[in-house]
Amino acid sequence: MAALDSAPDALLAQRAADGDEVAFAVIMRRHGPYLKAFATRLLRSNSDADDVVQEAFIQAWRRLPDLQDPAALRAWLTTMVSRKTTDRIRSRKQSDPLEDIEIPDLAGDPEDHALGSDKMRALARVLDTLPRDQRQIWLLREVAGHSYTEIAERLDMPVPTIRGRLARARAHVLDGMSEWR
Amino acid sequence: MAVTMNENITDGLPEDDIGGSGYTLDDLSAYLDAGRTPYDPVIEHNAECRSVLASLEQVGRWSRELLAGEAETAPVEAAGAGWMDGVLGAIAREVRSGRDIAYPGPDLRTTLSITEGAVRSLIRATGDEVPGVLVGRSRIDGPLDAPGEPVTVTVTISVRFGYALQDASDAVRTSIAETLARHTPLAIAAIDVVVDDIRDSGDEELGPLASRVADAGGDAR
């Protein structure tokens, strides 16, 4: 239905809460790519990111009837994805303690070429060189907008650690982006 | 390397003391995340601190732009298809059927009923037929287990900019009343239509008002 494709988030969320699967498919098409990009940057894995986004959407379908502010749909979905993602990060750490050691992640980004500007490519590279924890904290704060307390709970770290690592991540990004500012 | 180009930020990273304020980057970062409250005059009156705060906000904004850019350039198929089908398959098993609404009938051994979810679906399909209208939520208030007991239906709608709200909601009320009378056992006491959104005419489509204005402009010339 063409009209639904351009319908506002709030309306789609209400319809989906009422059981309209077509509206929910529009929501997935509209927000899926962003959530996937977010999860991919957090997890550095395409297939894990797919899984997480999928799980998050299934949970979103169940919880939509409780969504208080349907206009804030993207923020709400982002929170779902970051919960699912951090669950995965925690279970990775438990199953493989080596994951806890901060090793630089995958070098280069497969989607680099698709990014619009040199500035965005530079930022993508800078984020890629952040230690894992710092990158995750950065994304949870700057993209998902979570509080220090939420991030601390999700990543199982004390609040002062979050605060310190976020500041270090910011120093690193400011440094790496100095010629663009 | 660009590292040495911007002395106030990059050289040795401003870990210790920014602009003689006595605050570290760690402090400024936390101050920013606290929404710059409570207001700290030492920070806010220090040019270097303000510049660091502005830079922090800027790179934060860029990182959101980065993801939005990645989302835009990601082919919809690559992001969708596989996992979307998976999700749709999973949610199809979790249909929101709601309460059962029984049809009154003489035969006590068999009952025919329609679910609340199916009624909502009828309401959406009917309301969407009205030009410029999209149905949002619908609610049925009243006892559904007692056939013939009057119920009230509340429907929220979004109307496209340029359509008359009164006409649109009247048309929605009338056609939903007809549909429910024909296809459900509900005894409708009232249908309340709430317009809770007026949406833009959209990028590609012009609303009737816009096209009328365009026509009028054409006639005048």
Is A58 in contact with B3 (Cβ distance < 8 A)? no
The pLDDT of residue A107 = 40
Is there a contact between A109 and A128 (Cβ–Cβ < 8 Å)? yes
Question: Considering the domain boundaries, does residue A103 fall inside one?
Answer: no
User: Is the pLDDT reported for residue B220 higher than 50?
Assistant: no
Give the domain-ending residue among A65, A97, A129: A97
Q: pLDDT truncated to tens, each residue of chain A (181 aa)? A: 568 998 999 999 999 999 999 999 999 999 999 999 999 999 988 888 989 999 999 999 999 999 999 989 999 999 999 999 999 988 887 776 555 444 444 444 445 555 668 899 999 999 999 999 999 999 999 999 999 999 999 999 999 999 999 999 999 999 999 988 7
Q: Are A88 and A4 in a shared domain?
A: yes
Number of domains in chain A: 2
The pLDDT of residue A151 = 96
Q: Are A85 and A162 in a shared domain?
A: no
Q: Which two tokens stand for residue A107?
A: 């070098």
Which residue type occupies A69?
A: D
Is there a contact between A170 and A137 (Cβ–Cβ < 8 Å)? no
Domain that holds residue A62: 1-97
Question: Considering the domain boundaries, does residue A109 fall inside one?
Answer: no
Distant-in-sequence, close-in-space partners of B173: CB < 8 Å, separation ≥ 6 = B191, B193
User: Is the pLDDT reported for residue B134 higher than 80?
Assistant: yes
Is B2 in contact with A8 (Cβ distance < 8 A)? no
A135: exposed, middle or buried (C-beta count within 10 Å: 0-12, 13-18, 19+)? buried
DSSP element (H, E) containing A10 = helix A9-17
Q: Which two tokens stand for residue B32?
A: 């920013």
Give the domain-ending residue among A97, A125, A149: A97
Q: Are A68 and A9 in a shared domain?
A: yes
**Greater pLDDT, B5 or B159:** B159
Average pLDDT for B28-49? 94
Q: Are A82 and A142 in a shared domain?
A: no
Question: Which residues make beta-bridge pairs with B46?
Answer: none
Q: What angle do CA B115, B91, A53 make, to 5 degrees?
A: 150
Strand intervals (E) in B142-186 = 150-160
Distance from CA of B107 to the nearest CA of A (A): 31
Is there a contact between B68 and A12 (Cβ–Cβ < 8 Å)? no
Q: What angle do CA A67, A69, A70 make, to 5 degrees?
A: 75
Q: CA dist B149 to A162, B102, B103, B187, B188, Å?
A: 59, 11, 12, 6, 9
Q: pLDDT tens for residues B68-120?
A: 988 888 765 544 457 788 898 888 888 788 888 888 776 677 778 889 999 99
Is there a contact between B174 and B130 (Cβ–Cβ < 8 Å)? no
Q: Are A79 and A148 in a shared domain?
A: no
Which residue on chain B is closest to A38 by alpha carbon? Answer: B67
Secondary structure (H, E, C), B112-167: CEEEHHHHHHHHHHHHHCCCCEEEEEEEEECCCCCCCCEEEEEEEEEEECCCCHHH
Torsions phi, psi of B219, nearest 5?
-65, -35
Is B76 in contact with A120 (Cβ distance < 8 A)? no
Question: Which residues from A are below 8 Å from B53, CB to CB?
Answer: none
Nearest Cβ partner for B199 among A7, A53, A148:
A7
Q: Are A92 and A20 in a shared domain?
A: yes
The pLDDT of residue B221 = 34
B117: exposed, middle or buried (C-beta count within 10 Å: 0-12, 13-18, 19+)? middle
**How does DSSP classify residue B104?**
P
B132: exposed, middle or buried (C-beta count within 10 Å: 0-12, 13-18, 19+)? buried
Q: Are A173 and A85 in a shared domain?
A: no
Say what the ipTM of the complex is.
0.84
Is A36 in contact with B74 (Cβ distance < 8 A)? yes
Question: Considering the domain boundaries, does residue A106 fall inside one?
Answer: no
Rounded to an integer, what distance in angstroms lies between the CA atom of residue A84 and that of residue A36?
A: 12
Q: pLDDT tens for residues B136-191?
A: 999 999 988 777 889 999 999 999 999 999 999 999 999 999 999 999 999 999 99
The pLDDT of residue A180 = 85
Is A15 in contact with B135 (Cβ distance < 8 A)? yes
Which residue type occupies B83?
A: W
Strand pairing report for B113-115 and B133-141: unpaired
Q: Are A7 and A40 in a shared domain?
A: yes
Torsions phi, psi of A116, nearest 5?
-60, -50
Q: Are A56 and A17 in a shared domain?
A: yes
The pLDDT of residue B15 = 54
Q: Are A24 and A74 in a shared domain?
A: yes
Q: Which two tokens stand for residue A108?
A: 């280069």
Is there a contact between A138 and A130 (Cβ–Cβ < 8 Å)? yes
Is there a contact between A9 and A26 (Cβ–Cβ < 8 Å)? no
Rounded to an integer, what distance in angstroms lies between the CA atom of residue B11 and that of residue A72?
A: 40
Rounded to an integer, what distance in angstroms lies between the CA atom of residue B217 and that of residue B221?
A: 7
Distant-in-sequence, close-in-space partners of A90: CB < 8 Å, separation ≥ 6 = A155, A156
Which residue on chain B is closest to A51 by alpha carbon? Answer: B83
Distance from CA of B71 to the nearest CA of A (A): 5
Average pLDDT score, chain B: 82
